[in-house]
């Protein structure tokens, strides 16, 4: 969906400067975000009456160009998608050419399965020229578990003949301490793009669920957690689509007690994470110090597996 560029939220009847400021602080800064909001949300955020809230929403809807497009136009958009190489031909083939912009790619697995190693590799590769499998952009890393290692970035860069200092300059890292902080920082990525004019092409969240699990414990808080998580996933999806960013998230796992045969390992976060992730890949340890990646869910890719290794050069194919 697209919106007519000439309209701003201050053009809406009932939205003055003070109301607009409150709405924008809460993330309601486009016609689309207001058009799909509920009156209750606007009442709580902006302190307006129900009648005013409904009037604002209805006017936003009337000004929107809903952006129906033909299949040809959709195909043309798909052809503009950039695929960032993983450094492994096997893994690139699994993803249909690499990690896509305009999409959320989720990799889940146990400790040591290669989730963060792939994140480090992508943070380097996103900066490469497009003809080398990069996106000529920078990476933003939301670190929730102290997994970011600049020395590992330096090692990968140097062993691939790259300027380590320049690569490190092309990465922005934020240590997140709770789920609210994680959500706030995600929303601020838009400021880096719009205000600081940074060419952000990769957003890493490592890991997605760690802080949500610690902040919301027990079944009594599950509904609240999932509601916040849903908002967070939609923010990530909006960034991916609006700014042609590849969003890479890592996720933790648990054993599913309902599985009696085969591998009971499943990603945490429930359907909200699963339905919002464009690509879901399960990583596990393989034989002889290899890792196995299995495509679990993707729009146009079959459920296939591949093998890769983690080396001094980063992610590589087995010899």
pLDDT in tens, 68-79: 789 998 888 888
Tell me: pLDDT of 145 over 70: yes
Burial of 282 (0-12, 13-18, 19+ CB in 10 A): buried
Beta bridge partners of 141: 173, 204
Identify how many contiguous H helices and E strands the chain contains and give both numbers. Answer: 13, 13
Average pLDDT over residues 238-253: 94
Which residue reads 């610690």 in tokens? 214
For residues 262 and 284, what is the distance between their CA atoms, to the nearest angstrom?
A: 14
Every domain range in the chain assigned CATH 1.10.150.20: 9-63
What pLDDT does 2 receive?
42
Label the pairing between strands 246-251 and 103-109. Answer: parallel
Please give the average per-residue pLDDT across 126-136, as a whole number.
97
Domain with CATH 3.40.50.300 in the chain: 76-316
pLDDT at 274: 86
CA 241 – CA 198 distance, rounded (Å): 17
- Looking at the predicted structure, is the pLDDT value of residue 4 above 50? no
Q: Which 3 state secondary structure label does DSSP give 152?
A: helix
Q: What is the Cα–Cα distance from 213 to 144, expressed in whole angstroms?
A: 12
Return d(Cα 290, Cα 296) in angstroms, integer. 19
Q: For domain 76-316, is the CATH number 3.40.50.720? A: no
- The overall average pLDDT reported for the chain is 90
Q: What's residue 6's pLDDT?
A: 53
Q: Structure pTM? A: 0.81
pLDDT band at 261 (very low <50, low <70, confident <90, very high): low
**Whole-angstrom distance, CA of residue 46 vs CA of residue 21:** 9
What was the pLDDT predicted at 257? 61
pLDDT in tens, 106-117: 999 999 999 999
Domain 9-63 CATH (choose: 1.10.1740.10, 1.10.150.20, 3.40.640.10, 1.10.1240.10): 1.10.150.20
pLDDT of residue 260: 58
- How far apart are alpha carbons 137 and 170 in whole angstroms? 8
Over range 81-105, report the average pLDDT: 97
User: Residue 258: which pLDDT band, with cuts at 50, 70 and 90?
Assistant: low
Q: At what angle do helices 39-46 and 50-63 cross, to 10 degrees?
A: 120
Q: What is the mean pLDDT of residues 106-131?
A: 97
CA distances from 301 to 71, 95, 130, 271 (A): 19, 8, 23, 20
* Higher per-residue pLDDT: 261 or 279: 279
Measured CA distances, 232 to 165, 187, 227 (Å): 32, 9, 9
Reported as a pLDDT band with limits 50, 70 and 90, residue 3 is very low
pLDDT band at 222 (very low <50, low <70, confident <90, very high): confident
Lowest mean pLDDT among 34-38, 90-94, 119-123, 145-149: 34-38
How high is the pLDDT of residue 245?
A: 97
- pLDDT per position as a tens digit, 262-297: 666 788 888 889 888 999 999 999 998 999 999 999
């Amino acid at each position: 969906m697209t919106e007519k560029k000439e309209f701003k939220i201050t053009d809406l009847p009932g939205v003055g400067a003070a109301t607009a400021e409150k709405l924008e602080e809460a993330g309601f800064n486009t016609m689309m975000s207001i058009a799909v909001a509920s009156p209750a949300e606007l009442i709580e955020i902006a302190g307006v009456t129900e009648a005013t809230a409904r009037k604002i929403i209805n006017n936003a809807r009337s000004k929107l160009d809903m952006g129906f497009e033909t299949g040809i136009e959709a195909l043309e958009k798909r052809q503009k998608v950039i695929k960032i190489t993983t450094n492994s031909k096997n893994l690139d083939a699994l993803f249909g050419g690499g990690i896509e912009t305009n999409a959320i790619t989720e990799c889940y697995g146990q400790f040591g399965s290669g989730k963060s190693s792939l994140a480090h590799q992508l943070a380097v590769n996103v900066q490469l020229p497009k003809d080398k499998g990069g996106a000529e952009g920078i990476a933003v890393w939301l670190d929730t578990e102290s997994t970011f290692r600049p020395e590992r970035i330096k090692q990968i860069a140097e062993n691939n003949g790259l300027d380590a200092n320049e690569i490190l300059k092309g990465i922005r890292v934020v240590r997140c301490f709770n789920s609210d902080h994680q959500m706030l920082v995600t929303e601020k990525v838009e400021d880096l793009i719009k205000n600081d004019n940074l060419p952000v092409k990769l957003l890493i969240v490592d890991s997605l669920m760690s802080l949500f699990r610690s902040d919301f414990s027990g079944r009594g808080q599950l509904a609240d957690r999932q509601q916040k998580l849903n908002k967070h996933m939609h923010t990530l999806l909006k960034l991916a689509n609006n700014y042609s960013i590849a969003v890479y998230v890592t996720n933790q796992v648990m054993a599913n007690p309902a599985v009696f045969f085969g591998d009971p390992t499943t990603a945490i976060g429930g359907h909200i994470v699963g339905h919002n992730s464009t690509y879901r890949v399960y990583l596990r340890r393989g034989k002889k110090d290899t890792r196995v990646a299995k495509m679990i869910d993707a729009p146009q890719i079959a459920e296939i597996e591949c093998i890769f290794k983690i080396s001094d050069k980063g992610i590589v194919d087995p010899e």
